Structure 1
């Protein structure tokens, strides 16, 4: 069921011109001629005053007549419609909510905690009112279901899956786009538009948080050591090349190996080197 324009007219025209004139005319008719017909006309005109209603900005009024949907009015201000229409107010304003922190398993089986902020609004009042029982509850439940499904489709960290192109922690833009699309697919049947969906909380579950922290620290240390060794090898190579180029000292292969060993110890060590001065011969 899609939204359609409901019947209503400007309420100020009805309140200031049409209904007062009709009311006075029927009362005059009743006083002049009497009878049942003028009395019925007076009652009908009086009941027409019940057709006034107010539409606030970013708000819609859904009209139903004896259980049938007859339209929606979005024009703001004082409006008038047929008094028999039942009118239900639906907010069209942008709303947001933050989901609860949920514990799920990523695609590697690691338990994680995740929560997200969803920004949404009603775009089709007919679908929001008639396609689901309670569209606000529907948004909450379906959004949390989409968050769980999305979290279980990606690894928490890219180091967990080298073949994965996207990870929850390292690709926030891609994850937000995927989450928004998945939530939109679920809520479109209820006339809901999702404007934004972003993760507000992401962490390993408490039972594995300490172990994962140690693993991350170990990986960081290994990466740092790799950079240090790479730089040290380049410095040793440069030192040997400079010594040979400028003919400062002639070293055989054994002494070169000994020098390389000493330089690597100095450059790669995590503590300051303690030099030993040789006051004798070169060897």
Structure 2
């Protein structure tokens, strides 16, 4: 059973407005008619019966002029105006240009253009508990003006807070780097991490009517206090990985060489000579320096 205190989400609707150019023409007509009535009354010979009509004309003419003039407002491209009447939401106008609405209605302008935010560098503990520094870039825009204006207090501040929360969540969900376990890491799987960050941001910002178009990590590094130690660890892991690959290749090459020598009958090797050849080949293939050949003029046992 849902809580009765839960706030219902607002939803953007289209407000009733009209072109401001049409109302501008009407405003000019009212001004001309009012001015003509005043000039005509002043230049003619009015009677007592004409006075009430004149007074009504000069009263309602300016009042109508002010009411029409108060209803004008301007909307720039990629901008919207939320229309409210006495605190009640009446819809959103997204038509740019000179617009007009009833003068007793309020207009709250809001930008629907794309915004670019680069978050601050945050210190987060990754999945292994190592402190790292992480930051991201987010491109976002307002997709529902009603939610952005009425469901959160300040939608821009809400975006900044949720970006920080999402970055911390992603940073603690994966290790910075991991060679041994072949896991998804922050450093090696950028596309997957960025896609998951965008999905989480959209889920967090839907309350405010915000859509994230693009996001990605802009900074990722170990915290300064462990950067040196982790660099040495990365170097050691890289050396071990390279050595493992080198040994695997050397073993396969030695096996291939012994098999071909036996199949083609080039030389007959007993167990001791085979072991010696394997040792020599492994030294040549795995050594970091070029091998210096030693010519044996005798036999293996001399």
Q: TM-score if structure 1 supplies the norm length?
A: 0.91
Distance 2:69 2:51 in 1: 23
Structure 1 residue 46 and structure 2 residue 65: aligned?
A: yes
Deviation at 1:274, TM superposition (A): 2.2
CA distance 1:26–1:120, change in 2 (3 Å): same
Distance 2:147 2:158 in 1: 12
Equivalence map 1:156-235=2 (5 Å) = 156-159=176-179, 162=181, 164=183, 166-235=184-253
Deviation at 1:65, TM superposition (A): 2.4
SS of equivalent to 1:168? coil
Query: For residue 16 of structure 2, what is the aligned residue in structure 1?
Result: 7
Structure 1 residue 239 and structure 2 residue 257: aligned?
A: yes
Q: Is the 8 A contact 1:27 1:38 kept in 2?
A: no
Distance 1:137 1:243 in 2: 74
Structure 1 residue 59 and structure 2 residue 55: aligned?
A: no
Deviation at 1:111, TM superposition (A): 0.5
Given candidates 235, 260, 266, the residue that maps to 1:248 is: 266
Per-residue CA deviations over 1:225-261 (Å, capped at 9, x if unaligned) read 1121122122222222232233333222111111211
Runs of 4+ displaced beyond 6 Å: none
Structure 1 residue 92 and structure 2 residue 100: aligned?
A: no
Distance 1:171 1:207 in 2: 25
Q: Is the 8 A contact 1:158 1:170 kept in 2?
A: no
Q: Is the 8 A contact 2:179 2:237 kept in 1?
A: no
Equivalence map 1:17-28=2 (5 Å) = 18-28=26-36
SS of equivalent to 1:152? helix
Deviation at 1:102, TM superposition (A): 0.5
Query: For residue 110 of structure 1, what is the aligned residue in structure 2?
Result: 130
Query: For residue 37 of structure 1, what is the aligned residue in structure 2?
Result: 56
Q: Which sections of structure 1, spanning at least 5 residues, go unmatched? A: none
Q: Is the 8 A contact 2:152 2:208 kept in 1?
A: yes
Distance 1:3 1:245 in 2: 81
Deviation at 1:152, TM superposition (A): 1.0
Deviation at 1:174, TM superposition (A): 1.6
Distance 1:278 1:9 in 2: 103
Deviation at 1:27, TM superposition (A): 4.9
Equivalence map 1:126-145=2 (5 Å) = 126-145=146-165
SS of equivalent to 2:81? strand
Deviation at 1:282, TM superposition (A): 4.9
SS of equivalent to 1:174? helix
SS of equivalent to 1:223? helix
SS of equivalent to 2:230? helix
Q: TM-score if structure 2 supplies the norm length?
A: 0.86
Give the number of aligned pairs.
280
Q: Is the 8 A contact 2:30 2:65 kept in 1?
A: no
Per-residue CA deviations over 1:200-241 (Å, capped at 9, x if unaligned) read 111111111121111111111112111211221222222222
Deviation at 1:58, TM superposition (A): 0.6
